[in-house]
Amino acid sequence: MQRLTAWLAAAALCCTTSACRPDPEVPAPPSPPVADDFAYAEVGIVDLQASMARGETSSHALVEAYLARIIALDRNGPKLNAVIELNPLARREASALDAERAAGRLRGPLHGIPVLIKDNIDATPMVTSAGSLALAGFRPGSDAFLVKRLREAGAVILGKTNLSEWANFRSTRSTSGWSSIGGQTRNPYALDRSPCGSSSGTAVAVAANLAVVGVGTETDGSILCPAAMNGLVGLKPTVGLVSRDGIVPISSSQDTAGPMTRSVEDAALLLAAIAGRDPEDPVTADNSVLSTFDFAEQLRRGDLRGVRIGLLRDRLSISPEVAEATERAIGAMRDAGAIVVDTRIPTQGQWDDDELEVLLTEFRPGLERYLQRSQAPVRTLDALMEYNRLHASQVMPLFGQELFEQASRREGLASPAYIAARMRARRAAGAEGIDAALRSGPFDVLVAPTTGVAWLIDPTQGDRFPGEGYGAAAVAGYPALTVPMGHSNGLPLGLVFMGPAWSEARLLRIGYAYEQLTQARQPPTFRASAGAPTGGAGRHAAH
Protein backbone atom coordinates (compact mmCIF):
# COMPACT_ATOMS: atom_id res chain seq x y z
CA MET A 1 0.00 0.00 0.00
CA GLN A 2 2.81 2.43 0.84
CA ARG A 3 4.44 1.87 -2.55
CA LEU A 4 1.11 2.32 -4.34
CA THR A 5 0.38 5.56 -2.48
CA ALA A 6 3.83 6.93 -3.26
CA TRP A 7 3.52 6.05 -6.91
CA LEU A 8 0.07 7.60 -7.12
CA ALA A 9 1.42 10.87 -5.76
CA ALA A 10 4.30 10.81 -8.22
CA ALA A 11 1.98 10.06 -11.13
CA ALA A 12 -0.26 12.98 -10.27
CA LEU A 13 2.75 15.30 -10.57
CA CYS A 14 4.25 13.66 -13.65
CA CYS A 15 2.98 16.21 -16.11
CA THR A 16 4.78 19.06 -14.41
CA THR A 17 8.22 17.58 -13.80
CA SER A 18 11.06 17.38 -16.28
CA ALA A 19 11.91 13.87 -15.06
CA CYS A 20 8.68 12.64 -16.58
CA ARG A 21 9.48 13.87 -20.06
CA PRO A 22 9.81 10.82 -22.30
CA ASP A 23 12.85 9.71 -24.21
CA PRO A 24 12.16 10.59 -27.86
CA GLU A 25 13.67 7.29 -28.98
CA VAL A 26 11.09 4.51 -28.98
CA PRO A 27 12.86 1.14 -29.31
CA ALA A 28 10.73 -1.91 -28.59
CA PRO A 29 11.28 -3.00 -24.98
CA PRO A 30 11.84 -6.61 -24.03
CA SER A 31 8.62 -8.41 -23.18
CA PRO A 32 8.83 -9.92 -19.69
CA PRO A 33 6.44 -12.73 -18.79
CA VAL A 34 3.07 -11.39 -17.67
CA ALA A 35 1.34 -13.50 -15.05
CA ASP A 36 -2.19 -12.50 -15.96
CA ASP A 37 -4.09 -13.65 -12.89
CA PHE A 38 -5.88 -10.32 -12.46
CA ALA A 39 -9.10 -10.95 -10.56
CA TYR A 40 -11.18 -8.66 -12.78
CA ALA A 41 -9.67 -9.54 -16.17
CA GLU A 42 -12.26 -9.21 -18.95
CA VAL A 43 -15.06 -8.60 -16.43
CA GLY A 44 -17.69 -6.12 -17.62
CA ILE A 45 -20.00 -3.61 -16.01
CA VAL A 46 -23.00 -5.90 -15.39
CA ASP A 47 -20.95 -8.64 -13.69
CA LEU A 48 -19.07 -6.11 -11.55
CA GLN A 49 -22.35 -4.58 -10.42
CA ALA A 50 -23.60 -8.02 -9.48
CA SER A 51 -20.42 -8.68 -7.47
CA MET A 52 -20.77 -5.36 -5.64
CA ALA A 53 -24.44 -6.06 -4.95
CA ARG A 54 -23.48 -9.41 -3.36
CA GLY A 55 -20.80 -7.72 -1.26
CA GLU A 56 -18.01 -9.67 -2.94
CA THR A 57 -16.20 -6.51 -3.95
CA SER A 58 -16.58 -2.74 -3.73
CA SER A 59 -15.75 0.32 -5.76
CA HIS A 60 -12.81 1.04 -3.46
CA ALA A 61 -11.49 -2.50 -3.98
CA LEU A 62 -11.85 -2.10 -7.74
CA VAL A 63 -9.95 1.18 -7.73
CA GLU A 64 -7.14 -0.36 -5.66
CA ALA A 65 -6.93 -3.36 -7.98
CA TYR A 66 -6.79 -1.28 -11.16
CA LEU A 67 -4.21 1.09 -9.67
CA ALA A 68 -1.99 -1.85 -8.80
CA ARG A 69 -2.41 -3.27 -12.29
CA ILE A 70 -1.47 0.08 -13.84
CA ILE A 71 1.76 -0.02 -11.87
CA ALA A 72 2.43 -3.61 -12.91
CA LEU A 73 1.78 -3.24 -16.63
CA ASP A 74 1.92 0.43 -17.53
CA ARG A 75 4.97 1.65 -15.57
CA ASN A 76 6.69 -1.69 -14.89
CA GLY A 77 6.34 -4.95 -16.81
CA PRO A 78 5.66 -4.33 -20.51
CA LYS A 79 5.66 -0.52 -19.99
CA LEU A 80 2.59 0.17 -22.08
CA ASN A 81 2.68 3.97 -21.46
CA ALA A 82 -1.10 4.12 -21.70
CA VAL A 83 -1.88 6.17 -18.58
CA ILE A 84 -0.57 9.73 -18.23
CA GLU A 85 -2.01 10.70 -14.85
CA LEU A 86 -4.08 9.19 -12.06
CA ASN A 87 -6.88 10.89 -10.20
CA PRO A 88 -5.59 11.59 -6.66
CA LEU A 89 -9.20 11.62 -5.42
CA ALA A 90 -10.17 8.26 -6.94
CA ARG A 91 -10.06 6.31 -3.67
CA ARG A 92 -12.09 8.95 -1.83
CA GLU A 93 -14.69 9.07 -4.60
CA ALA A 94 -14.95 5.27 -4.65
CA SER A 95 -15.44 5.12 -0.87
CA ALA A 96 -18.21 7.74 -1.08
CA LEU A 97 -19.98 5.70 -3.75
CA ASP A 98 -19.65 2.57 -1.61
CA ALA A 99 -21.30 4.47 1.24
CA GLU A 100 -24.16 5.46 -1.06
CA ARG A 101 -24.61 1.81 -2.06
CA ALA A 102 -24.68 0.75 1.59
CA ALA A 103 -27.36 3.38 2.20
CA GLY A 104 -29.48 1.99 -0.63
CA ARG A 105 -28.78 4.70 -3.18
CA LEU A 106 -27.67 3.45 -6.59
CA ARG A 107 -27.10 5.94 -9.38
CA GLY A 108 -27.26 3.43 -12.23
CA PRO A 109 -25.21 0.78 -14.05
CA LEU A 110 -21.95 2.77 -13.74
CA HIS A 111 -22.17 3.20 -9.96
CA GLY A 112 -18.65 2.64 -8.63
CA ILE A 113 -17.16 1.62 -11.99
CA PRO A 114 -13.57 2.86 -12.69
CA VAL A 115 -13.30 4.71 -16.01
CA LEU A 116 -10.25 6.11 -17.83
CA ILE A 117 -10.59 9.12 -20.13
CA LYS A 118 -8.41 10.54 -22.86
CA ASP A 119 -6.18 13.44 -21.87
CA ASN A 120 -7.90 15.97 -24.11
CA ILE A 121 -11.02 15.85 -21.90
CA ASP A 122 -11.26 18.12 -18.84
CA ALA A 123 -11.62 16.31 -15.50
CA THR A 124 -10.74 18.02 -12.23
CA PRO A 125 -8.35 18.07 -10.47
CA MET A 126 -6.17 16.60 -13.24
CA VAL A 127 -4.17 18.20 -16.04
CA THR A 128 -5.57 18.42 -19.56
CA SER A 129 -2.48 18.33 -21.75
CA ALA A 130 -3.64 17.02 -25.16
CA GLY A 131 -0.29 15.22 -24.87
CA SER A 132 1.69 18.46 -25.20
CA LEU A 133 4.33 19.88 -22.89
CA ALA A 134 2.86 23.30 -23.68
CA LEU A 135 -0.07 22.37 -21.42
CA ALA A 136 1.94 20.33 -18.89
CA GLY A 137 0.69 22.27 -15.86
CA PHE A 138 -2.76 23.21 -17.17
CA ARG A 139 -5.55 22.20 -14.77
CA PRO A 140 -8.97 23.38 -15.99
CA GLY A 141 -11.31 24.57 -13.27
CA SER A 142 -14.31 22.44 -14.22
CA ASP A 143 -15.23 19.09 -15.72
CA ALA A 144 -16.17 18.52 -19.32
CA PHE A 145 -19.92 17.99 -19.70
CA LEU A 146 -19.48 14.28 -20.38
CA VAL A 147 -17.33 13.93 -17.23
CA LYS A 148 -20.08 15.61 -15.20
CA ARG A 149 -22.51 13.05 -16.61
CA LEU A 150 -20.16 10.20 -15.76
CA ARG A 151 -19.82 11.39 -12.19
CA GLU A 152 -23.57 11.90 -11.88
CA ALA A 153 -23.96 8.30 -13.11
CA GLY A 154 -21.64 7.12 -10.32
CA ALA A 155 -18.50 6.40 -12.33
CA VAL A 156 -15.07 6.87 -10.73
CA ILE A 157 -12.68 8.76 -13.00
CA LEU A 158 -9.54 6.68 -12.48
CA GLY A 159 -7.21 8.86 -14.55
CA LYS A 160 -6.14 10.22 -17.91
CA THR A 161 -4.75 8.30 -20.88
CA ASN A 162 -2.00 9.09 -23.34
CA LEU A 163 -2.84 10.11 -26.90
CA SER A 164 -1.24 11.04 -30.17
CA GLU A 165 -0.18 14.61 -29.40
CA TRP A 166 -2.90 17.15 -30.22
CA ALA A 167 -5.08 14.20 -31.27
CA ASN A 168 -2.81 13.48 -34.25
CA PHE A 169 -3.40 16.92 -35.75
CA ARG A 170 0.05 18.46 -35.51
CA SER A 171 2.11 16.86 -38.28
CA THR A 172 1.62 15.15 -41.62
CA ARG A 173 4.08 12.44 -40.58
CA SER A 174 3.28 11.84 -36.93
CA THR A 175 3.75 8.62 -34.98
CA SER A 176 0.45 7.43 -33.53
CA GLY A 177 0.44 7.00 -29.78
CA TRP A 178 3.40 9.34 -29.17
CA SER A 179 3.18 12.54 -27.18
CA SER A 180 5.78 14.79 -25.63
CA ILE A 181 4.05 14.29 -22.26
CA GLY A 182 3.50 10.54 -22.30
CA GLY A 183 6.02 9.08 -24.73
CA GLN A 184 5.10 6.13 -26.95
CA THR A 185 2.03 4.06 -26.10
CA ARG A 186 2.47 0.43 -27.15
CA ASN A 187 0.09 -2.13 -28.57
CA PRO A 188 -0.37 -4.83 -25.89
CA TYR A 189 -0.67 -7.57 -28.53
CA ALA A 190 2.87 -6.83 -29.77
CA LEU A 191 4.88 -4.08 -28.14
CA ASP A 192 6.67 -3.08 -31.36
CA ARG A 193 3.36 -2.46 -33.19
CA SER A 194 1.36 0.74 -33.37
CA PRO A 195 -1.71 1.15 -31.16
CA CYS A 196 -3.09 3.51 -33.83
CA GLY A 197 -4.31 6.93 -32.75
CA SER A 198 -5.24 9.28 -31.46
CA SER A 199 -7.14 7.55 -28.62
CA SER A 200 -4.18 5.21 -28.24
CA GLY A 201 -3.87 5.24 -24.47
CA THR A 202 -7.57 4.64 -23.86
CA ALA A 203 -7.57 1.70 -26.28
CA VAL A 204 -4.45 0.08 -24.83
CA ALA A 205 -5.55 0.63 -21.24
CA VAL A 206 -8.97 -0.95 -21.72
CA ALA A 207 -7.55 -3.79 -23.81
CA ALA A 208 -4.99 -4.56 -21.07
CA ASN A 209 -7.64 -4.38 -18.32
CA LEU A 210 -6.24 -1.23 -16.70
CA ALA A 211 -9.84 -0.01 -16.26
CA VAL A 212 -13.31 -1.38 -16.85
CA VAL A 213 -14.10 0.99 -19.73
CA GLY A 214 -12.72 4.15 -21.31
CA VAL A 215 -13.69 7.25 -23.25
CA GLY A 216 -11.91 8.34 -26.42
CA THR A 217 -12.50 11.08 -28.96
CA GLU A 218 -12.62 11.02 -32.74
CA THR A 219 -12.50 13.41 -35.65
CA ASP A 220 -11.75 10.76 -38.27
CA GLY A 221 -10.88 7.31 -36.97
CA SER A 222 -9.40 8.09 -33.56
CA ILE A 223 -11.86 5.84 -31.72
CA LEU A 224 -12.39 3.23 -34.42
CA CYS A 225 -8.79 2.60 -35.52
CA PRO A 226 -7.24 2.16 -32.04
CA ALA A 227 -10.24 0.12 -30.91
CA ALA A 228 -9.86 -2.25 -33.86
CA MET A 229 -6.08 -2.59 -33.51
CA ASN A 230 -6.37 -3.32 -29.79
CA GLY A 231 -9.19 -5.84 -29.93
CA LEU A 232 -11.93 -3.56 -28.61
CA VAL A 233 -15.43 -2.38 -29.32
CA GLY A 234 -15.36 1.31 -30.23
CA LEU A 235 -18.36 3.53 -30.93
CA LYS A 236 -18.14 6.87 -32.70
CA PRO A 237 -21.56 8.45 -32.07
CA THR A 238 -23.50 10.77 -34.34
CA VAL A 239 -22.03 14.26 -33.97
CA GLY A 240 -24.41 15.91 -31.49
CA LEU A 241 -25.23 12.90 -29.32
CA VAL A 242 -22.34 13.58 -26.90
CA SER A 243 -21.32 17.10 -25.89
CA ARG A 244 -17.88 18.38 -26.89
CA ASP A 245 -17.81 20.99 -24.12
CA GLY A 246 -14.54 20.75 -22.19
CA ILE A 247 -12.74 18.77 -24.90
CA VAL A 248 -9.71 20.13 -26.77
CA PRO A 249 -11.11 20.47 -30.31
CA ILE A 250 -10.04 19.86 -33.87
CA SER A 251 -13.26 20.23 -35.85
CA SER A 252 -16.72 21.47 -34.92
CA SER A 253 -18.07 19.49 -37.89
CA GLN A 254 -16.64 16.09 -36.99
CA ASP A 255 -15.42 15.93 -33.37
CA THR A 256 -17.15 13.62 -30.91
CA ALA A 257 -16.34 11.54 -27.85
CA GLY A 258 -17.39 7.93 -27.51
CA PRO A 259 -17.01 4.61 -25.66
CA MET A 260 -14.05 2.24 -25.94
CA THR A 261 -14.85 -1.07 -24.23
CA ARG A 262 -14.28 -4.81 -24.30
CA SER A 263 -17.91 -5.60 -25.13
CA VAL A 264 -20.84 -4.11 -27.01
CA GLU A 265 -22.94 -4.22 -23.84
CA ASP A 266 -20.43 -2.06 -21.98
CA ALA A 267 -20.33 0.37 -24.92
CA ALA A 268 -24.12 0.71 -24.77
CA LEU A 269 -24.11 1.34 -21.01
CA LEU A 270 -21.28 3.89 -21.25
CA LEU A 271 -22.93 5.69 -24.18
CA ALA A 272 -26.17 6.07 -22.22
CA ALA A 273 -24.21 7.74 -19.43
CA ILE A 274 -22.35 10.30 -21.56
CA ALA A 275 -25.02 11.18 -24.15
CA GLY A 276 -27.21 14.21 -23.57
CA ARG A 277 -28.16 17.74 -24.52
CA ASP A 278 -25.81 20.49 -23.37
CA PRO A 279 -26.47 24.22 -23.80
CA GLU A 280 -22.70 24.80 -24.07
CA ASP A 281 -22.62 22.64 -27.24
CA PRO A 282 -25.53 23.82 -29.41
CA VAL A 283 -25.17 20.92 -31.84
CA THR A 284 -26.58 18.64 -29.14
CA ALA A 285 -29.86 20.57 -29.39
CA ASP A 286 -30.44 18.75 -32.70
CA ASN A 287 -30.16 15.43 -30.87
CA SER A 288 -33.19 13.37 -31.88
CA VAL A 289 -32.33 10.58 -29.39
CA LEU A 290 -33.47 11.11 -25.81
CA SER A 291 -30.57 11.52 -23.41
CA THR A 292 -32.14 8.85 -21.20
CA PHE A 293 -32.39 6.32 -24.05
CA ASP A 294 -31.64 2.80 -22.81
CA PHE A 295 -29.15 1.65 -25.42
CA ALA A 296 -28.38 -1.57 -23.52
CA GLU A 297 -32.05 -2.60 -23.57
CA GLN A 298 -31.92 -2.57 -27.37
CA LEU A 299 -29.33 -5.35 -27.38
CA ARG A 300 -31.87 -7.92 -26.29
CA ARG A 301 -34.42 -7.19 -28.97
CA GLY A 302 -33.25 -9.28 -31.87
CA ASP A 303 -30.69 -11.27 -33.74
CA LEU A 304 -29.28 -11.31 -37.27
CA ARG A 305 -32.17 -13.13 -38.96
CA GLY A 306 -33.48 -11.01 -41.80
CA VAL A 307 -31.00 -8.17 -41.22
CA ARG A 308 -30.01 -6.68 -44.57
CA ILE A 309 -26.30 -5.92 -44.69
CA GLY A 310 -24.47 -4.01 -47.42
CA LEU A 311 -20.87 -5.21 -47.71
CA LEU A 312 -18.46 -2.52 -48.90
CA ARG A 313 -16.35 -5.02 -50.81
CA ASP A 314 -13.93 -2.45 -52.23
CA ARG A 315 -12.67 -1.89 -48.66
CA LEU A 316 -11.50 -5.51 -48.52
CA SER A 317 -8.53 -4.52 -50.66
CA ILE A 318 -6.75 -3.29 -47.50
CA SER A 319 -4.87 -6.62 -47.39
CA PRO A 320 -5.40 -10.33 -48.13
CA GLU A 321 -5.55 -11.24 -44.43
CA VAL A 322 -8.16 -8.55 -43.81
CA ALA A 323 -10.21 -9.76 -46.80
CA GLU A 324 -10.06 -13.33 -45.52
CA ALA A 325 -11.17 -12.36 -42.01
CA THR A 326 -14.01 -10.23 -43.40
CA GLU A 327 -15.24 -13.08 -45.58
CA ARG A 328 -15.32 -15.34 -42.51
CA ALA A 329 -17.29 -12.70 -40.61
CA ILE A 330 -19.77 -12.31 -43.46
CA GLY A 331 -20.13 -16.09 -43.72
CA ALA A 332 -20.96 -16.33 -40.02
CA MET A 333 -23.61 -13.62 -40.34
CA ARG A 334 -25.14 -15.30 -43.39
CA ASP A 335 -25.28 -18.59 -41.51
CA ALA A 336 -27.13 -16.76 -38.73
CA GLY A 337 -29.80 -15.56 -41.17
CA ALA A 338 -28.49 -12.18 -42.31
CA ILE A 339 -28.89 -11.15 -45.94
CA VAL A 340 -25.54 -9.85 -47.16
CA VAL A 341 -25.20 -8.13 -50.54
CA ASP A 342 -22.19 -6.39 -52.05
CA THR A 343 -22.51 -2.65 -52.41
CA ARG A 344 -20.38 0.45 -52.60
CA ILE A 345 -20.39 4.06 -51.52
CA PRO A 346 -20.70 5.79 -54.90
CA THR A 347 -18.76 8.87 -53.80
CA GLN A 348 -15.96 7.02 -51.99
CA GLY A 349 -12.92 9.27 -51.57
CA GLN A 350 -14.51 12.30 -53.24
CA TRP A 351 -14.56 14.15 -49.91
CA ASP A 352 -10.87 13.78 -49.03
CA ASP A 353 -9.58 17.19 -50.14
CA ASP A 354 -12.64 19.01 -48.84
CA GLU A 355 -12.41 17.25 -45.47
CA LEU A 356 -8.83 18.40 -45.00
CA GLU A 357 -9.81 21.99 -45.87
CA VAL A 358 -12.63 21.83 -43.31
CA LEU A 359 -10.39 20.48 -40.55
CA LEU A 360 -7.62 22.99 -41.23
CA THR A 361 -10.07 25.89 -41.21
CA GLU A 362 -12.03 24.86 -38.13
CA PHE A 363 -8.98 23.98 -36.03
CA ARG A 364 -7.67 27.44 -35.17
CA PRO A 365 -10.90 29.17 -34.05
CA GLY A 366 -12.05 26.12 -32.11
CA LEU A 367 -8.73 25.60 -30.36
CA GLU A 368 -8.30 29.27 -29.47
CA ARG A 369 -11.83 29.46 -28.08
CA TYR A 370 -11.10 26.47 -25.85
CA LEU A 371 -7.70 27.79 -24.70
CA GLN A 372 -9.01 31.27 -23.94
CA ARG A 373 -12.18 30.16 -22.15
CA SER A 374 -10.15 27.72 -20.07
CA GLN A 375 -7.40 30.28 -19.34
CA ALA A 376 -4.71 27.94 -20.59
CA PRO A 377 -1.02 28.95 -20.42
CA VAL A 378 -0.96 29.37 -24.21
CA ARG A 379 -4.01 31.02 -25.75
CA THR A 380 -3.42 31.18 -29.51
CA LEU A 381 -2.21 28.85 -32.22
CA ASP A 382 0.66 31.23 -32.98
CA ALA A 383 1.78 31.11 -29.34
CA LEU A 384 1.55 27.34 -29.38
CA MET A 385 3.68 27.07 -32.53
CA GLU A 386 6.24 29.41 -31.00
CA TYR A 387 6.36 27.30 -27.84
CA ASN A 388 6.99 24.22 -29.96
CA ARG A 389 9.80 25.95 -31.85
CA LEU A 390 11.46 27.09 -28.61
CA HIS A 391 11.21 23.58 -27.14
CA ALA A 392 11.73 21.66 -30.35
CA SER A 393 14.17 19.14 -28.89
CA GLN A 394 11.52 17.98 -26.42
CA VAL A 395 8.29 18.59 -28.33
CA MET A 396 9.36 17.89 -31.91
CA PRO A 397 12.18 15.32 -31.76
CA LEU A 398 10.37 12.96 -34.14
CA PHE A 399 8.10 15.10 -36.34
CA GLY A 400 7.14 18.71 -36.89
CA GLN A 401 3.99 20.86 -36.87
CA GLU A 402 3.08 21.09 -40.56
CA LEU A 403 -0.67 20.86 -39.91
CA PHE A 404 -0.47 23.66 -37.34
CA GLU A 405 1.32 25.81 -39.91
CA GLN A 406 -1.24 25.06 -42.60
CA ALA A 407 -4.12 25.81 -40.22
CA SER A 408 -2.55 29.13 -39.22
CA ARG A 409 -2.80 30.31 -42.83
CA ARG A 410 -6.52 29.60 -43.29
CA GLU A 411 -8.85 32.60 -43.72
CA GLY A 412 -11.48 31.62 -41.16
CA LEU A 413 -15.02 30.29 -40.89
CA ALA A 414 -16.49 33.03 -43.11
CA SER A 415 -14.30 32.00 -46.03
CA PRO A 416 -16.37 31.04 -49.11
CA ALA A 417 -13.84 28.28 -49.87
CA TYR A 418 -14.36 26.74 -46.44
CA ILE A 419 -18.16 26.98 -46.57
CA ALA A 420 -18.26 25.34 -49.98
CA ALA A 421 -15.82 22.60 -48.92
CA ARG A 422 -17.86 21.81 -45.83
CA MET A 423 -21.08 21.49 -47.83
CA ARG A 424 -19.45 19.32 -50.50
CA ALA A 425 -17.76 17.02 -47.99
CA ARG A 426 -20.87 16.47 -45.90
CA ARG A 427 -23.01 15.84 -48.99
CA ALA A 428 -20.52 13.45 -50.60
CA ALA A 429 -20.07 11.38 -47.44
CA GLY A 430 -23.66 11.59 -46.22
CA ALA A 431 -26.58 12.07 -48.59
CA GLU A 432 -24.72 10.93 -51.71
CA GLY A 433 -22.50 8.46 -49.83
CA ILE A 434 -23.75 6.40 -46.89
CA ASP A 435 -27.41 7.31 -47.41
CA ALA A 436 -27.26 6.40 -51.10
CA ALA A 437 -25.55 3.09 -50.35
CA LEU A 438 -28.15 2.23 -47.70
CA ARG A 439 -31.00 3.02 -50.13
CA SER A 440 -29.50 0.88 -52.88
CA GLY A 441 -30.31 -2.33 -50.99
CA PRO A 442 -32.17 -1.22 -49.13
CA PHE A 443 -29.88 -2.11 -46.23
CA ASP A 444 -30.17 -1.87 -42.48
CA VAL A 445 -26.44 -1.34 -42.08
CA LEU A 446 -23.19 -1.12 -44.05
CA VAL A 447 -20.17 -3.19 -43.03
CA ALA A 448 -16.48 -3.15 -43.93
CA PRO A 449 -13.17 -4.02 -42.30
CA THR A 450 -12.38 -1.23 -39.85
CA THR A 451 -8.72 -1.00 -40.85
CA GLY A 452 -5.70 -3.24 -41.43
CA VAL A 453 -3.13 -4.97 -39.26
CA ALA A 454 -1.13 -2.86 -36.80
CA TRP A 455 2.09 -1.63 -38.38
CA LEU A 456 5.55 -1.45 -36.83
CA ILE A 457 6.20 1.67 -34.75
CA ASP A 458 8.67 3.72 -36.79
CA PRO A 459 9.68 7.07 -35.24
CA THR A 460 11.77 7.91 -38.32
CA GLN A 461 9.17 7.38 -41.05
CA GLY A 462 6.00 7.85 -39.02
CA ASP A 463 2.77 5.89 -39.47
CA ARG A 464 2.27 3.32 -42.24
CA PHE A 465 -1.50 3.54 -42.27
CA PRO A 466 -3.04 0.66 -44.27
CA GLY A 467 -6.45 2.17 -45.07
CA GLU A 468 -9.90 2.17 -43.48
CA GLY A 469 -13.58 1.41 -43.94
CA TYR A 470 -15.04 4.16 -41.72
CA GLY A 471 -14.09 7.45 -43.41
CA ALA A 472 -17.54 8.25 -44.78
CA ALA A 473 -19.11 8.07 -41.31
CA ALA A 474 -16.51 10.45 -39.91
CA VAL A 475 -17.05 13.10 -42.58
CA ALA A 476 -20.85 12.74 -42.61
CA GLY A 477 -21.01 12.96 -38.81
CA TYR A 478 -22.79 9.58 -38.74
CA PRO A 479 -22.31 6.79 -36.16
CA ALA A 480 -19.96 3.85 -36.64
CA LEU A 481 -19.29 0.83 -34.44
CA THR A 482 -16.24 -1.44 -34.62
CA VAL A 483 -16.40 -4.95 -33.17
CA PRO A 484 -13.53 -7.49 -33.02
CA MET A 485 -13.66 -9.93 -35.96
CA GLY A 486 -10.47 -11.97 -35.61
CA HIS A 487 -6.68 -11.82 -35.70
CA SER A 488 -3.77 -11.92 -38.12
CA ASN A 489 -0.62 -13.35 -36.56
CA GLY A 490 -2.09 -12.56 -33.17
CA LEU A 491 -2.87 -8.91 -34.05
CA PRO A 492 -6.54 -7.89 -33.75
CA LEU A 493 -8.81 -6.99 -36.66
CA GLY A 494 -12.14 -5.18 -36.47
CA LEU A 495 -15.38 -5.06 -38.45
CA VAL A 496 -17.12 -1.69 -38.71
CA PHE A 497 -20.91 -1.22 -38.83
CA MET A 498 -22.22 2.11 -40.22
CA GLY A 499 -25.67 3.62 -40.50
CA PRO A 500 -27.47 6.94 -40.90
CA ALA A 501 -27.51 9.71 -38.31
CA TRP A 502 -28.90 8.72 -34.90
CA SER A 503 -28.84 4.97 -35.67
CA GLU A 504 -26.71 4.05 -32.63
CA ALA A 505 -29.35 1.71 -31.20
CA ARG A 506 -29.55 -0.23 -34.47
CA LEU A 507 -25.79 -0.49 -34.80
CA LEU A 508 -25.43 -1.67 -31.21
CA ARG A 509 -28.17 -4.26 -31.66
CA ILE A 510 -26.65 -5.69 -34.84
CA GLY A 511 -23.10 -5.41 -33.51
CA TYR A 512 -24.10 -7.21 -30.31
CA ALA A 513 -25.69 -10.06 -32.25
CA TYR A 514 -22.50 -10.40 -34.31
CA GLU A 515 -20.30 -10.24 -31.21
CA GLN A 516 -22.29 -12.95 -29.44
CA LEU A 517 -22.17 -15.11 -32.55
CA THR A 518 -18.41 -14.93 -33.06
CA GLN A 519 -16.84 -14.09 -29.65
CA ALA A 520 -13.74 -12.94 -31.55
CA ARG A 521 -12.05 -10.87 -28.83
CA GLN A 522 -8.98 -12.41 -27.22
CA PRO A 523 -7.04 -10.72 -24.38
CA PRO A 524 -3.58 -9.35 -25.23
CA THR A 525 -0.43 -11.43 -24.69
CA PHE A 526 2.15 -8.61 -24.38
CA ARG A 527 4.57 -10.13 -26.91
CA ALA A 528 7.70 -8.17 -27.71
CA SER A 529 7.11 -8.51 -31.46
CA ALA A 530 4.65 -9.98 -33.95
CA GLY A 531 7.36 -10.66 -36.50
CA ALA A 532 7.43 -9.39 -40.09
CA PRO A 533 6.23 -5.80 -40.61
CA THR A 534 2.98 -4.89 -42.27
CA GLY A 535 1.48 -1.55 -43.27
CA GLY A 536 0.58 0.77 -46.06
CA ALA A 537 2.08 3.65 -47.93
CA GLY A 538 2.44 6.14 -45.09
CA ARG A 539 -0.94 7.88 -45.17
CA HIS A 540 -1.78 9.96 -42.14
CA ALA A 541 -3.51 7.85 -39.52
CA ALA A 542 -6.55 8.70 -37.43
CA HIS A 543 -7.36 12.09 -35.85
Residue 278 above 70 pLDDT? Answer: yes
* pLDDT score of 13 more than 90: no
Q: Which residues are tagged catalytic?
A: 118, 198, 222
Q: In the predicted model, what is the mean pLDDT of residues 420-448?
A: 98
Phi, psi of 230 (to 5 degrees): -120, 20
Q: Which helix (H) or strand (E) holds 320?
A: helix 320-335
Whether the per-residue pLDDT at 400 is higher than 80: the answer is yes
318-367 pLDDT tens trace: 999 999 999 999 999 999 999 999 999 999 999 999 999 999 999 999 99
Please check the confidence at residue 79 and state whether its pLDDT lies above 80. yes
pLDDT number for residue 289: 64
For domain 2-17+33-518, give the CATH superfamily: Amidase signature (AS) domain (3.90.1300.10)
| Maximum separation of any 2 CA atoms in the chain, in Å | 63
Q: Where are the domains of the chain?
A: 2-17+33-518
Q: In whole angstroms, how large is the CA radius of gyration of the chain?
A: 21
141 pLDDT more than 70: yes
Helix %, strand %, coil % of the chain (to 5):
40, 15, 45
Calculate the alpha carbon distances from 55 to 48, 105, 110, 318, 490 in Å.
11, 15, 16, 49, 37
> Which residues make beta-bridge pairs with 276?
none
Residue 529 and residue 190 in contact, taking contact as beta carbons nearer than 8 Å? yes
Q: Calculate mean pLDDT across residues 176-185.
A: 98
Residue 1 pLDDT class (50, 70, 90 cuts): very low
DSSP 206-223: HHTTSSSEEEEEESSSTT
